[in-house]
Amino acid sequence: MLKAQGYVGAPQNRVDGRAKVTGEARYAAEFEVPDLAYGIVISSAIAKGRITSIDASAALAIPGVVQVFTHENRPRTAWFDRSYRDDVAPPGSPFRPLYDEQVVYSGQPIALVVADEFEIAAHAASLVRVEYETDTHMTDLDIKRSEAYVPPKKRSGVTPPPSPRGDADQAFAQAPVKVHGEYRIAIEHHNPMEPHASTVVYEEDGKLTIHDKTQGVQNSQRYVSSVFGLSSDQVRVVSPFVGGAFGSGLRPQYQLFLAVMAALELKRSVRVVLTRDQMFTFGYRPQAIQTISLGANPDGTLQSIMHDAVQTTSSFEDYQEVIVNWSNLLYHCDNVKLTYKLAQVDTYTPSDMRAPGAATGVTAIETAMDELAYAVGIDPVELRLRNYTEADEANKRDFTSKELRACYQLGAERFGWSTRNPQPRSMREGRELVGWGMATGVWEAFMQKTAARAVLHADGHLDVSTATSDIGTGTYTILAQIAADTLGLAINKVTTRIGDSSLPKSPVQGGSWTAASAGTAVQVACRSVRETLFKYAREMDGSPLANASLEHVSFADGRIVLTNDPETGISFTDIMRAKGVDTVEAEEMAAPGMMTSLRYSGYSHSAIFAEVRVDEELGIVRVTRIVNAVAAGTILNPKTARSQIIGGIVFGIGMALEEESLLDHNLGRFMNHNLAEYHVPVNADIHDIDVIFVSEHDDKLNPMGIKGLGEIGIVGTAAAIGNAIFHATGKRIREYPITVDKIL
Ligand code: MOS
Ligand 1, residue 711: give the atom nearest the CA. Answer: 1
On whether the CB atoms of residues 550 and 534 are closer than 8 A, the answer is: yes
Instruction: Kindly state the DSSP code that residue 699 receives in the 8-state scheme.
Output: S
Give 731's contacts (C-beta < 8 A, 6+ positions apart): 725, 743
On whether the CB atoms of residues 321 and 357 are closer than 8 A, the answer is: yes
Which pLDDT score is estimated for 82? Answer: 63
Ligand 1, residue 512: give the atom nearest the CA. Answer: 3
Ligand 1, residue 355: give the atom nearest the CA. Answer: 2
Length of the chain: 744
Ligand 1, residue 510: give the atom nearest the CA. Answer: 3
Q: What is the CA radius of gyration of the chain?
A: 27
Give 547's contacts (C-beta < 8 A, 6+ positions apart): none
User: Is 606 exposed, middle or buried, given 0-12, 13-18 or 19+ CB atoms closer than 10 A?
Assistant: buried
Instruction: Spell out the alpha helix ranges (H) of 389-437.
Output: 404-415
Number of neighbours of residue 703 by Cβ within 10 angstroms? 16
The Cα–Cα gap between 518 and 475 comes to 9
Which pLDDT score is estimated for 597? Answer: 79
Ligand 1, residue 246: give the atom nearest the CA. Answer: 4
Q: ∠ CA(593), CA(598), CA(601), 5° rounding?
A: 90
Residues 321-339 as b/e (b if ≥16 CB within 10 A, e otherwise) read: bbbbbbbbbbbebebbbbe
The Cα–Cα gap between 298 and 288 comes to 31
Bin 633: left if φ > 0, else alpha if -120 < ψ < 50, else beta.
left
For the stretch 689-726, pLDDT in tens is 999 999 999 999 999 999 999 999 999 999 999 999 99
For the stretch 266-299, pLDDT in tens is 999 999 999 999 999 999 999 999 999 999 999 9
Expressed in angstroms and rounded, the spacing between residue 321 Cα and the centre of ligand 1 is 12
The Cα–Cα gap between 150 and 291 comes to 16
What architecture (CATH level 2) is domain 37-136+192-275?
Alpha-Beta Complex (3.90)
The Cα–Cα gap between 641 and 454 comes to 24
**CATH: 3.10.450.710, 3.30.365.10, 3.40.50.300, 3.40.640.10. Which one for 145-188+284-446+598-743?**
3.30.365.10
Mean residue pLDDT of the chain comes to: 96
Among 458, 415, 407, which Cα is nearest to 630's? 407
Q: ∠ CA(227), CA(229), CA(230), 5° rounding?
A: 110
Residue nearest to atom 4 of ligand 1 (CA): 247
Q: ∠ CA(732), CA(737), CA(742), 5° rounding?
A: 50
Residue type at 343 in one-letter notation: A
Which pLDDT score is estimated for 460? Answer: 92
Query: What Cα–Cα distance (Å) separates residue 180 from each residue in 172, 293, 367, 368, 531?
Result: 10, 4, 11, 8, 60
Expressed in angstroms and rounded, the spacing between residue 650 Cα and the centre of ligand 1 is 16
Coil, helix or strand for 198? strand
Expressed in angstroms and rounded, the spacing between residue 510 Cα and the centre of ligand 1 is 4
Expressed in angstroms and rounded, the spacing between residue 579 Cα and the centre of ligand 1 is 45
CATH, range 17-24+448-591: 3.30.365.10
* Mutational pocket test of ligand 1: of 191, 246, 470, the residue with most ligand atoms within 8 Å of the beta carbon: 246
**Between 358-376 and 638-657, two packed helices, what is the crossing angle to 10 degrees?**
70
Expressed in angstroms and rounded, the spacing between residue 215 Cα and the centre of ligand 1 is 9
Residue type at 182 in one-letter notation: E
On whether the CB atoms of residues 406 and 694 are closer than 8 A, the answer is: yes
Query: What Cα–Cα distance (Å) separates residue 263 from each residue in 39, 68, 159, 199, 200?
Result: 10, 13, 39, 10, 7
Which pLDDT score is estimated for 306? Answer: 98
Expressed in angstroms and rounded, the spacing between residue 654 Cα and the centre of ligand 1 is 17
Ligand 1, residue 249: give the atom nearest the CA. Answer: 4
Q: How far is CA 102 from the centre of its chain?
A: 32
Expressed in angstroms and rounded, the spacing between residue 302 Cα and the centre of ligand 1 is 32
Number of neighbours of residue 561 by Cβ within 10 angstroms? 21
- Can you name the residues that pair with 344 across neighbouring β-strands? 313
On whether the CB atoms of residues 197 and 271 are closer than 8 A, the answer is: yes
Which residues form ligand 1's pocket by a CB distance below 6 Å? 215, 246-247, 250, 352-354, 356, 510-511
Q: Which of 72, 133, 711, 735 is flagged as catalytic? A: 711
* C-alpha torsion sign, points 59, 62, 68, 73: positive
Which of the residues in the chain have pLDDT under 50?
A: 1-3
Ligand 1, residue 710: give the atom nearest the CA. Answer: 1
Among 328, 255, 291, which Cα is nearest to 42's? 255
* Mutational pocket test of ligand 1: of 87, 213, 242, 352, the residue with most ligand atoms within 8 Å of the beta carbon: 352
Domain ranges of the chain: 17-24+448-591, 37-136+192-275, 145-188+284-446+598-743
Which pLDDT score is estimated for 171? Answer: 98
Expressed in angstroms and rounded, the spacing between residue 249 Cα and the centre of ligand 1 is 8
Residues 268-301 as b/e (b if ≥16 CB within 10 A, e otherwise) read: bbbbbbbbebbbbbbbbbbbbbbbbbbbbeeebb
Among 440, 170, 381, 163, which Cα is nearest to 295's? 170
In this chain, the answer to whether the domains covering 17-24+448-591 and 37-136+192-275 adopt an identical fold is: no
Expressed in angstroms and rounded, the spacing between residue 471 Cα and the centre of ligand 1 is 10
On whether the CB atoms of residues 315 and 334 are closer than 8 A, the answer is: no
- Can you name the residues that pair with 133 across neighbouring β-strands? 50
Residue type at 345 in one-letter notation: V
Respond yes or no: is residue 371 known to be catalytic: no
